[in-house]
Copies of this chain bind each other. A is one copy, B any other.
Amino acid sequence: MTATSSRNPQGARPVVPGAGLLRPLTLAEVGVRDGFWGRRQKVNGEVTLDHALSWMERVGWVDNFRAVAAGRMRGERGGREFSDSEIYKLMEAMAWEVGRSRNVQTEAALRALTSTVGAAQGPDGYLNTAFGQPGQPARYSDLEWGHELYCYGHLIQAGVARARVTGADELVEIARRAADHVCREFGPGANEGMCGHPEIEMALVELARLTGEARYLDQAAVFVQRRGHQRLADIPLGRAYFQDDVPVRAATVLRGHAVRALYLASGAVDVAVETGDAGLLAAVERQWEATVARRTYLTGGMGSHHEGEAFGDDFVLPPDRAYSETCAAVASVMLSWRLLLATGNPRYADLIERTLYNVLATSTAPDGRAFFYTNTLYRRHAGPVPPAAEMNPRPESGLRAPWFAVSCCPTNIARLFASLAGYLATADDTGIQLHQYASCDIHTRLGDGATVGLAMRTGYPDHAAVSVEVTESRGQPWSLSLRVPGWADSGAILVDPTGARRPVGAGTVTVTHRFAVGDRVSLELPIRARWVRPDPRIDAIRGTVAVERGPLVLCLESVDLPAGRHVGEVRVDASTDPTEANGQVRVTGELVKVSDEPWPYAGTDHDTVSSTPERVEVPLLPYYAWATRGPSTMRVWLPEHTRTNKKETGSKE
Q: Which residues of B contact A596 (CB under 8 A)?
A: 293
Measured CA separation A313–B568 after assembly (Å): 13
Known: A538-B600, A600-B538, A601-B532. A575 touches B646 (CB 8 A): yes
* Interface flag for A530 (CB, 8 Å): yes
Nearest-Cβ distance from residue A114 to partner chain B, whole angstroms: 32
Q: Which 3 A-B pairs have the closest CB atoms?
A: A535-B600, A307-B307, A306-B307
- Considering the chains assembled together, what is the distance between the CA atoms of A399 and B342 in angstroms? 43
Q: Which of A234, A236, A380, A486 has the most CB of B within 10 A?
A: A236
Flag A293-323 by CB within 8 Å of B: 1 or 0 each: 1101010000001110000111110111100
Among A31-39, A58-66, A636-644, the stretch that binds chain B is A636-644
Q: Provide the bound-state CA to CA distance between A535 and B607, in Å.
A: 9
Q: Indicate which residue in B321, B601, B652 contacts A318 across the interface (CB closer than 8 Å).
A: B321
* A540–B539 CB distance below 8 A: yes
Q: Is A644 touching B640 in the complex (CB atoms < 8 A)?
A: yes
> Which residues on the B side are within 8 Å of A530 (C-beta)?
603
Interface residues of A in 560-619 (CB under 8 A from B): 568, 573-575, 594, 596-606, 608
Q: Are B537 and A646 in contact (CB under 8 A)?
A: no
Q: Does A546 sit within 8 A of B, measured CB to CB?
A: yes
Query: Which B residues are CB-close (under 8 A) to A76?
Result: none
Residue of chain B at shortest CB distance from A535: B600
A639-B542 contact, Cβ under 8 Å, with A236-B405, A321-B305, A601-B298: yes
13 additional A-B pairs beyond A296-B600, A320-B539, A575-B646, beta carbons within 8 Å, are: A235-B393, A238-B393, A313-B381, A315-B600, A347-B598, A532-B601, A532-B602, A533-B603, A543-B644, A546-B601, A574-B646, A575-B649, A648-B652
Q: Is A394 an interface residue (CB 8 A)?
A: yes
Q: Is A386 an interface residue (CB 8 A)?
A: no
- A534 contacts chain B at the CB level, 8 A cutoff: yes
Task: Report the separation of the CA atoms of residues A534 and B597 in the bound assembly, to the nearest whole angstrom.
Answer: 11
- With A and B bound together, what is the CA distance between A605 and B533 in angstroms? 6
Chain B: CB-nearest residue to A541: B539
What is the bound-complex CA distance between A313 and B320, given in angstroms? 10
CB-CB under 8 A for A536 and B574, given A307-B305, A639-B542: no
Q: Once bound together, how far apart are the Cα atoms of A3 and B237, in whole Å?
A: 47
The contact of A533 among B315, B536, B604, by CB within 8 Å, is B604
Q: Check A367 for interface membership: any CB of B closer than 8 A.
A: no
Whether A544 sits at the interface, judged by CB under 8 Å, is yes
> Min CB distance, A302 to chain B, in Å?
13
Q: Within the complex, what minimum Cβ distance (angstroms) separates A325 from chain B? A: 14
**Contact B652 A294, beta carbon cutoff 8 Å:** no
Query: Which residues of the partner chain B approach A602 to less than 8 Å between Cβ atoms?
Result: 532-533, 535
- Is A145 positioned at the interface, with any CB of B under 8 Å from its CB? no
Is A292 positioned at the interface, with any CB of B under 8 Å from its CB? yes
In the complex, residue of chain B having the shortest beta-carbon distance to the beta carbon of A234: B393
Chain B residues with CB below 8 A from A347, complex form? 598
Query: Quick one: given A537-B568, A541-B539, are A599 and B646 in contact (CB under 8 Å)?
Result: no
CB interface residues, A 61-81, toward B, < 8 Å: none
A289 at the interface (CB under 8 A from B): yes
Which residues of B are found within 8 Å of A594, using beta-carbon distances? 535-537
Check A123 for interface membership: any CB of B closer than 8 A: no
Q: Which residues of B contact A316 (CB under 8 A)?
A: 320-321, 380
Given A306-B307, A653-B575 in contact, is the A600-B321 Cβ separation under 8 Å? no
Contacts of A449 in B (CB 8 A): none
Contact partner, A532, options B235, B314, B603, B649, Cβ 8 Å: B603
Shortest Cβ distance from A645 into B: residue:
B533
Which residues of B have CB within 8 Å of A597? 293, 535
28 contacts between A and B (CB under 8 A): A236-B393, A237-B394, A293-B598, A293-B600, A294-B600, A298-B601, A306-B307, A312-B321, A313-B320, A313-B381, A318-B321, A532-B601, A532-B602, A532-B603, A533-B601, A533-B602, A535-B601, A536-B639, A536-B643, A537-B568, A542-B639, A575-B649, A575-B653, A640-B649, A642-B644, A642-B649, A642-B652, A648-B652
- What is the distance, in angstroms, from A76's C-beta to the closest C-beta of chain B? 15
User: Using a CB-CB cutoff of 8 Å, which residues 501-544 of chain A contact chain B?
Assistant: 530-544
| CB of A570 to closest CB in B, whole Å | 12
A299 to chain B, nearest CB (A): 10
Tell me whether A650 is interfacial, beta carbon within 8 Å.
Answer: yes
The docked-state distance in angstroms from the alpha carbon of A305 to that of B604 is 28
Which B residues lie within 8 Å of A313 (CB)? Answer: 320, 380-381
Closest to A542 in B: B543
- Cα(A544)–Cα(B542), bound, Å: 9
Docked-complex contact B601 and A534, CB < 8 angstroms = yes
Interface membership of chain A positions 363-392, coded 1 if the CB is closer than 8 angstroms to chain B and 0 otherwise: 000000000000000101100000000000
Looking at the assembled complex, report how far the CB atom of A276 sits from the nearest CB atom of chain B, in whole angstroms: 27
Q: Which residues on B sit within 8 Å (CB–CB) of A318?
A: 318, 321, 540
Q: Roughly how many angstroms separate A606 CA and B541 CA in the complex, as a whole number?
A: 14
Contact of A306 among B305, B601, B653 (CB under 8 A): B305
> A534: which of B234, B533, B600, B652 is its contact (CB, 8 Å)?
B600
A239 to chain B, nearest CB (A): 10
Q: Which residues of B contact A605 (CB under 8 A)?
A: 533
Which residues of chain B are within 8 angstroms of A380 by Cβ–Cβ distance? 313-314, 316
Residues in chain B near residue A289, CB distance under 8 A: 598
The closest CB in chain B to the CB of A640 belongs to B644
